[in-house]
A and B are shown apart, each in its own frame.
Chain A
Amino acid sequence: MKRLFIVVMVLLSILTLAEVGVYKDKVVIGTFQALSGPYAVIGQEMSKGMNAYFNWVNRNGGVYERKIELIIADDQLNPSKTVVEVKRLVESDKVFAIVGGLGSYGCLAVMDYLEQNRVPFVYQGAGTSLLVNPPKRYIFAVQPDYTFEGQLIAKFLVENLNKKRIGIIYMSNDVGEEGRAAVKTRLEKYKMKPVIEVGYNPLETDYSALAINVLNANVDSIVIYGFITDTVRWIKTLRDYGISAPVVTTYANADPAFLTLGGKQVEGVYLTGWVPLATPDRPEFLRDYQRAVAIFQETYPNQPMSSYAVAGFIAAEVFVQGLLRAGADLTREGLVQALETFKNWDGILTKDITWGPNLRRGKSSMYFMKVEKGVFVSVTDLMTLQD
């Protein structure tokens, strides 16, 4: 009887001490991605990036002999589905953490739930500043947010390009509004105002009527807060109307698809960037990128690595580094503390990530690039708002 009691107590203590989702031979984590539906274009690619990196880690023995098991929930980028899927991941699948969820609205929809349940949420495929401002203990952002980016764009236009008559074209949704507000905030510091602000519905296919307003405003530069298809559509319309002012747009468009779809029309367009460009003049980045592609193609032979796959790769890379720092006795609190030790951390593709107590915005620096002869070419070094 006494022996049985001891065995039960030992088992109970193991069960009590063991962290959710952490087993002797594996760590189970979850993510939510649009695997089907109209946004599968993004979600499938991001999932590939994560899968490729975790597969590579697992093939090389895992982290402290634990393999990483990734459960991908398909939320179709629909926030109401995100909530259901994430609750399922946390409550039924008992995941240790959520890594790399896709979409601003979905991330915001589950942000409070994960925070209250003390589930670490590392990397959001989203640019809303609400995730990091105010900082939340369990939410770690990697991608720059639009509030930071918008201010940096205004700084670049005024201080680097010496522009005076800036127009803003933005999607009439939270992403566009946040970008517009940020550009305006920074312009106020220079005692400037945008000469025109044009909101648009990204689903619309013809912006001709709006382009006339831009033409009449006589702008010397234009900020476009839109995503790939509508931004390219805007640029083509502006050029058709003879508006040749330089355009600056968000890092969300820094994807090969932007070049393919835009062709010659996007020549000279400036974009922000946070993942270093692998160009021949930066051999260290080129080497890192080739290494990442090699890892990616171990799982997806001969497939190109899109920018969304790069995002997934970075999400996985950052998380694995967190696991390594958290040590063999893995707990959620341990992971949070480990992530808070990141200081300008560089991985293969991840560069310059810093977190700390009360600091959850991982990236506070970006650079600018330009489309020249059909390729992205960086035109500045990493910039911060304080420079």
Chain B
Amino acid sequence: MFFNRVILGLSTGAFYSLTALGIVMIFKVTGVMNFAFGNMAMFMAYVAYTFVEQGTGPLVAFLLILPIAGIFGFAVEKYTLRPIRHLSHTSMLIITLGILMILEGLSTQLWGTQYKAFPELVSGKPFIFRGDFGILVFRRQDILLFAVLGAVVIMITIILKYTKAGIAIKAVSENEKVSQLMGINPGKVFSWSWIIGTAIGTTVALLGAPRTYISPMMMVFYQLQGFTAAVLGGFDSLIGAVVGGLALGVIENLVGGYISNELKMTFSLMVIIAILLIRPQGLFGSRDIRRV
């Protein structure tokens, strides 16, 4: 039973990891907590739904929407946040809250008030395993989710390690001013982080859509858990986001199984507070050390 719960926890946690990755990617580089992260992904899910409605399969819609999501993230950063970047981070935070509300209202105006069903990207009967551990059901979509998480992690690692854009992202997140002196254009780097972050968020929305259904609220839970996972893993660490998400999923399932399902979230958050009391920077976050 324990094994069963851990596996199910990892499956739930994969969603949290991906969400946290998207949030951290934007925060790490631009220092902005993007409160509109979930709603931007939700809006893109509605656009993908329109493609499916027009007759494209869900997979084609998914492939079409990723570049659109990237452009959307680019536009939001370039035209709403960058002009006020010199003011303060609080102003940018308020802008993201504004975008959150605009997209929420706009989505019901454009697509109506009914929930929309979005098909699974891969369909078919789930894989069922029975043994001493009880029964374990793997939906094909869950397996795809793991694969996507793995692919995103590998891709981000390659980009950050081996490409100029990736090295620039790392440099700007370390020190914006110094990297500028080294000939890096921080504006471009900000754009890239928003492009990648928004595309990751959209991936979560589309993978989750068969369960959450497309509605203005579809990303609320994922965004909440994504933030929590990012805090747990360390807000400035991409690996932390992945591990934090998976850990949160497992903690939740173990608490739900052995203590109380109704208090699952409460207990999970208590565990996380306990961890943060010992490591305030999160599991993989770096400590902010300043010269006195």
Contacts and interface: CB of A to CB of B under 8 A. Distances in A.
Given A212-B134, A215-B135, A240-B126, A203 B113 contact: no
Contacts of A240: 126, 137, 139
B289 interface: no
Interface stretch (A1-9, A41-49, A158-166): A41-49
Given A37-B104, A209-B8, A198 B261 contact: yes
A331 interface: no
A204 B217 contact: no
What secondary structure prevails in chain B residues at the interface with A? helix
A174 interface: no
A241 B139 CA distance: 10
B120 to A, nearest CB: 11
Interface in A196-252: 198-201, 203-206, 208-212, 215-216, 228-229, 232-233, 240-242
Nearest to A229: B213
A308 to B, nearest CB: 8
Contacts of A39: 217
Q: Which of A39, A201, A205 has the most CB atoms of chain B within a 10 A radius of its CB?
A: A205
B43 interface: no
A260 interface: yes
A40 interface: yes
Contacts of A198: 261
B208 A241 contact: no
Given A44-B113, A228-B115, A229-B212, A212 B262 contact: no
B257 A209 contact: yes
A250 B119 CA distance: 25
B126 A199 contact: no
B171 to A, nearest CB: 37
Q: Which of A40, A172, A198, A208 has the most CB atoms of chain B within a 10 A radius of its CB?
A: A208
Nearest to A236: B211
Nearest to A262: B117
Contacts of B222: 205
A179 to B, nearest CB: 15
B256 interface: yes
Interface string A338-382: 000000000000000000000000000000000000000000000
Contacts of B1: 212
A257 B114 contact: yes
B72 interface: no
A36 interface: yes
B119 to A, nearest CB: 10
Interface in A275-314: 306
A61 interface: no
A18 interface: no
B11 interface: yes
Interface in A1-52: 36-42, 44-45
User: Interface size for chain A: under 10, 10 to 19, 20 to 34, or 35 or more residues?
Assistant: 35 or more
A199 B115 contact: no
B216 interface: yes
B181 interface: no
A263 to B, nearest CB: 7
Q: Which of A209, A210, A233, A260 has the most CB atoms of chain B within a 10 A radius of its CB?
A: A209
A45 B113 contact: yes
A206 B11 contact: yes
B218 to A, nearest CB: 9
A261 interface: yes
A20 B88 CA distance: 50
Interface string B249-269: 000010011000110110000
Interface in B15-40: 15
Contacts of A260: 114-115, 117
Contacts of A200: 261-262
A241 B137 contact: yes
Contact of B216 (A41, A199, A210, A228): A41
Contacts of A228: 115
Contacts of B216: 37-38, 40-41
Contact of B262 (A36, A38, A172, A216): A172
Contacts of A42: 113
Contacts of B211: 205-206, 233
A199 B208 contact: no
A209 B115 contact: no
A46 to B, nearest CB: 10
Contacts of B220: 38, 203
Contacts of B215: 38, 41, 229
Interface in A66-120: none
Interface of B: 1, 4-5, 8-9, 11-12, 15, 104-105, 108, 113-115, 117, 126, 128, 134-135, 137, 139, 208, 211-213, 215-217, 220-222, 253, 256-257, 261-262, 264-265
28 contacts: A37-B104, A38-B104, A38-B216, A40-B105, A40-B108, A40-B113, A41-B114, A41-B216, A172-B262, A199-B261, A199-B262, A201-B264, A205-B15, A205-B211, A205-B221, A205-B222, A208-B137, A209-B4, A209-B257, A209-B261, A211-B137, A229-B213, A232-B213, A233-B211, A242-B135, A257-B115, A261-B117, A306-B114
Interface of A: 36-42, 44-45, 172, 198-201, 203-206, 208-212, 215-216, 228-229, 232-233, 240-242, 257, 260-261, 263, 306
Which 10 A-B residue pairs are closest in the complex by CB-CB distance? A38-B217, A41-B113, A203-B221, A199-B262, A205-B211, A172-B262, A44-B113, A40-B108, A38-B216, A209-B8
